Chain A
Amino acid sequence: MTDPLDALRAEVEPVRPDAAFAERLRERLRRAVLSGAPSTMDSTGTERTMAETVTQQTVEEPEDLAWGPTLQPHIHVADARRALDWYVDVLGAKRRGEAYVMPDGSIGHAELRFGDAVLMLAEGTYPGIPVAPPTGELHSTSLNLQVSDVDATIERAESAGATIERRPDDQPYGRVATIVDPFGHRWMFNQPRGAAPRARHGEVAFTTIFVPDDEAAKAFYGAVLGWDFASGSAERGWVLTGKEDSFGMSGGAERPEVQLCYRVNDMAAAVERVRANGGQVGEIESKPYGQLVECSDDQGTRFQLYQPPAS
C-alpha cells in the first residue's frame, strides 16, 4: 500500500530572504568566524555543544561593528600586538572588535578603524597565502590617511620609531608627509585644506534637525542615541560630535523638520533649475565654507543647496 503522506515530499527550493536580514546575519557570521577561537579536539560534537556555542556567540553586538567600507586594505606585520598598539597610539586608530587569536598564539586577524575606514591586519605568513610582512626598500602600496594635524602626527610617529621619508609640506591638495612605520609599511598623511566636502554633486552634504527647543532636543537625542553636540557657527546651531562636517541641529525653528543640504557643482545653474521646475529659492549666502541657499521644492519640502569654495 502506498502511503498518501509520501505526496508531501518537498525538495529544497531556494528562497531569497529579506536583504536586511541577510546582511545582519552575514555580519554576525563574520564576527563569529573572526572572533571565536577554534575549539580544541572534540569529536563528540553533538547538538548540545552546537546549541551552547550559538548562545555564547549571539551575545550583545559591539556598537562599532557596523559593516565596513567597500574597500578595506589588509596588511601583514611581523608583530601584530605591537603594531596594533602603535597604530592606536600614534595614528589614533580604534580597535574594531576582538582580535582573532590562532592556536599558536599569533594574531590571525584584527581590525582597526580610522575614521570611516577599516584596516585589516594579520601576523606573519600562512602556508599557501602569498602575502608577507614588508621587508625591502621598495613598497607596492602606500596607506594614504587623512589627519587633522599632519605636523603633530609626524612628531608622534618620529618619537615612536617611524622613519620619516618626507616632512610636512604644503601642496595644492593639502599638507602632506610620508613615513615608513616600524613594521615596514609606508603611510602618506594628508591634512586637507580648508573645507573639503566628501559629498559629490547631488549628494547630501549636511543634515540639519530643526527644532523649536534645541536644549530639549540635545537632551532627547543624547538619551536616545547617545549623541553629543558641540556649538556650531550659527546662533543656537549645534554640530554632532564626530560628524561635525555633516550633521547638525538648529534651535528656534517655527516647526520641527529635518532638512537635507545637497552639494552642487554650479550654484547659479542649480538655483536656476530650482526656479525653472517650480521650486522656491532664497538668498544665496556666502559663508567661510562656501555658498549656501535655502530652497523648497514644488511641493513645499524645504532643502538647501551648497557649493564649496573653488580650490
Chain B
Amino acid sequence: MTAPFPTPVADEAQRLLTPEELEAALRDIGARRYHNLHPFHRLLHDGKLNKDQVRAWALNRYYYQAMIPVKDAAVLARMEDASLRRIWRQRIVDHDGDHPGDGGIERWLKLAEGVGFRRDYVESTQGILSATRFSVDAYVHFVRERSLLEAIASSLTEMFSPTIISERVAGMLKNYDFITKDTLAYFDKRLTQAPRDAEFAIEYVKQHATTPELQRKAMAALTFKCNVLWTQLDALYFSYVAPGLTPPDAWTPGTGLVPEAAVAQAPGTGTLVATDVPRLPRGVRLRRDEVRGQHVLLAPERTFDLDDNAVAVLSLVDGSRSVHDIAGALAEQFAADRTVIEADVLVMLNDLAAKRVLER
C-alpha cells in the first residue's frame, strides 16, 4: 500500500527511529508545513490585510474552533483507559467551558464579534467557504477512522502553535486598530493550554509508535493535520486576497455584521497602549521654529506649540520605539519614575492620536 500522505523524509520510514529522532522528525514536519508559513498568515500578522479580510479569517476559523470538541470527543470515545480520558477530556472543557459564556469557542465568538460580526451569523456557519467545511470535516473523520495513535499524532500541531500565537497577537495588536487585547483573549488561554496538551501528546506518540510502520503513520497523521490547516488558508487567500474569487453563498463584505460595524475604521487609528509603537505619519513634522525660538509640530492646517516635555517625548517617536521604550528612555534621562512617565506619555500621545496627527 502506498502512503496516503507522503512522509517528509522517505529514508526514515525504513528504520525504527529513537524516540528523540521521532520527535525531531515530527518537529521538522512543522518547521516546513505548519500554517504560520502560509502567505495569508504573513499578511495577517504584518497588518497587510484589510478589515474585511480579517473578518473572513475570523468567520471561517470559527468553524474549525467549533468542531474541535467534536473531534476531541471522537478521540475520547476511542480511549479505553480512564487515566487517558481524564487528561484528554480537559481539551473539551477548555473549548466548551464549564458554563455558558465560558470556554474557547465563546472566546472565538467574542473575537468574531470584536471585528463586527453578529453572533448568530457566525454560529450559523452559513457564510463559510466550502473548503473550510471540507477540511475541518476531513479532520473529524480522520480521528474517527484512524488508529488512536494517529488521532493523537494529528493533534501535534499544538507543538508549533505558541510561536504563531505570540506572533499573531503582537502583530495583530500592532497593526489593526480594530483588534484589542480583549478581542484576542482566545489566544491568551491557548498560550498555556497548547503546550500542556502538546507535551502529553508527544510523549504518548513517542511511547506508542514502536515500529517503523507506526512511526511513519504518526508522521503522516501530523502531515495530514498541517494540510488541514494550510488548505483553509489557501481557500481564504483564493477567495479574499487573490484572485478574489468568492464562491456562491460564501460571505461577502458588508453582510452578517452588526450595523455599526458597517463603517470601516482607518488603519493606524485607535487608542494607544504601552506596547504600541507610535509614529508621526506623512504630513506631520516636528520642526524647530527659529523665528519664535521654539519647537513646533506642523500638521494639516494646524500648528502645535510644544513645551520642553512634549519635545522630549516627540523626539523619541521614531516609528521603532514603543511607548514603553520611550518612557524608559525619558525615565533614565530625567531620573524619574518610569510608570509615572509612561502614564503621562500615553495621555499626551493619545491626545495627538485623537487629533489624527499620530499613528501606530
Q: Are A and B a genuine interacting pair, yes or no?
A: no
Tell me the B residues contacting A by CB distance below 8 Å: none
Point out residues on A near B: beta carbons under 8 Å. Answer: none
